[in-house]
Structure 1
Amino acid sequence: MRLSPDEIIFWQYGFVKLNATIVFTWALMLVLVISAFWITRKLSAGITPDSAVQESKPRSRWHNLLEIIVTSLEKQIQDVGLTHPRPYLGFLGTLFLFVAAASISTIIPGYEPPTGSLSTTVALALCVFIAVPLFGILNQGLGSYLVSYAQPSVIMLPFNIISEVSRTLALAVRLFGNMMSGAMIIAILLAITPFIFPVVMTLLGLLTGMVQAYIFFILAAVYIAAATRSREVPTQAAMPKKAVK
């Protein structure tokens, strides 16, 4: 029984190996890029479903599906605490779609989801690890962001740094463990039970994969929201009124 797609070797020259994780990762990225290009090839900005009907130019179902996905992701990002979700939509949306597509693609015979490899989940977690300070610096400036590590006291500096590293490791291990466990359960059931039960488990695995994609997306958004928080400036309504003489 294979524990990881890393064990499937397609080509090897010395210590250089081309395994299933690399092949399926690039194949999945290629499919996502081609799909995005195909869906948006005739997409026009500013055209809503109502305006399209009025102009007798109905949009395709793919365009409507794309709008639903984008709108839903923006709403989730905004609910996390990022008031203006557009700057973060590209990064967070790509993370969600990659993990979700990797889970859905498990229905393809012979396909091994790259998220079943620890190297892939570590790479995804490192993307979040790099993006969090990057968005924080862009939002607050380099000085203000670095100072936030020493808040509320300088004593917290090493603990805040350890927190950055540990949560990155937790992201990688959590995603890897959940994805690999689902694949292992299906493989075991295929070996000891009839065909129908593993099919049900496969459908359950698809649901679990979508949940994991959502959790990974939300956690990344929460970390970015924490890094981009800015000092609240008291509004005029919140300021104490001067005593009337």
Structure 2
Amino acid sequence: MHLSPDQILYWQMGFLKLNATIVFTWLIILVLVLGSMLITRKLSSGIQRSRWQNVLEVVVITINKQIEEVGLSQPHKYLGFLGSLFLFIALCALGTVVPGFEPPTGSLSTTAALALCVLVAVPLFGIQEQGLWRYLASYTKPTIIMLPFNIISEVSRTLALAVRLFGNMMSGAMIIAILLTITPFLFPVVMTLLGLLTGIVQAYIFFVLATVYIAAATSTQKTAAVTPSETL
């Protein structure tokens, strides 16, 4: 029984290792890239559209609406990053029903990397929206005393993202592995379906939390202009 796909080695030369985490991560990336290329190579704006184009449009529109509902007024600016995060984690969950597949999200290194992507993206989007100095000034609000606490908050929520996703994905895989050794028939199938549902939910939670963090970083204080007549 493997606690993490990091423990499954396919090749090693000195300190260089090729484990299941790396292999299946690149496999999922390859599936996403090739899938998007195949679906988008013959897009149609007419009534007659392919089934896969309809599926793609439903996914894009749904993600777009979710981003907008969280509070980002221009969801298309964040669709590439947030949509890729959601699809990658969701595909990791869907892959658990494939025999021999080891979800990369069962490794803390993968979930930490995803959380670090959010950690880097949040200030980048914030600086893009507010400007460098205005974004940095937000760390000192409401007073300069809050500066270290705001920095600690950034780091701690990144750690929480990584640990939450890792814990939920690994626990599901562990329960299935244990049940396979005890009752190798009905219960593993039920737990696999439950793990699939849990994985999709975790992908959605990770996506929503990342969207919330970006929305908080890109929010600007808008003050209404007051005309002289309104002050009388």
Do Structure 1 and Structure 2 share a fold, with TM-score over 0.5?
A: yes
The corresponding residue for 1:172 is: 162
The alpha-carbon deviation at position 16 of structure 1 amounts to 1.2
Count of aligned pairs: 232
- Whether 1:72 and 2:71 are equivalent positions in the alignment is no
Superposition RMSD in Å: 1.4
Per the alignment, residue 151 of structure 2 pairs with 161
CA distance in 1: counterparts of 2:141 and 2:43, whole angstroms: 46
Q: Give the partner amino acid of 1:188.
A: I
| Partner SS for 1:226 | helix
The alignment partner of 1:69 has SS state of: helix
CA deviations over 1:183-220 (Å, ceiling 9, x no partner): 00000011001312111110111100000000000000
Change (3 A) 1:186 1:235: farther
Is the partner of 1:241 in helix, strand or coil? helix
> Rg larger in 1 or in 2?
1
Q: Which runs of 4+ in 1 moved over 6 A?
A: none
Aligned residue type for 1:22: I
CA shift, 1:233, in A, is 2.5
Instruction: Identify the residue that residue 3 of structure 1 maps to in structure 2.
Output: 3
Alignment of 1:85-234 (within 5 A): 85-234=75-224
Cα distance in structure 1, aligned partners of 2:50 and 2:120: 37
Whether 2:223 is the aligned partner of 1:241: answer no
Q: Relative to structure 1, is the Cα distance of residues 235 and 189 closer, same or farther in structure 2, using a 3 angstrom cutoff?
A: farther
Q: Where does residue 19 of structure 1 map in the other structure?
A: 19
Calculate the TM-score normalised by the size of structure 2.
0.97
Q: TM-score, normalising length from structure 1?
A: 0.92
Superposition pairs of residues 20-99 of structure 1, within 5 angstroms? 20-44=20-44, 47=45, 52-53=46-47, 58-99=48-89
Bigger proportion of residues as helix = 2
- TM-superposed deviation, 1:240: 7.9
Unaligned runs of 5+ in 1: none
Unpaired runs of at least 5, structure 2:
none
Structure 1 residues 92, 195: CA separation in 2 closer, same or farther (over 3 Å shift)? same
CA change 1:240–1:133 in 2 (3 A) is farther
- For each residue in 1:134-178, what CA deviation from the matched residue of structure 2 results, as whole angstroms up to 9, or x when unmatched? 000000000100000000100000000000000000000000000
Distance 1:33 1:188, change over 3 A: same
Farther off after superposition, 224-233 or 213-222: 224-233
- Overall identity of the aligned pairs, in %: 69
Letter in 1 for 2:144: V
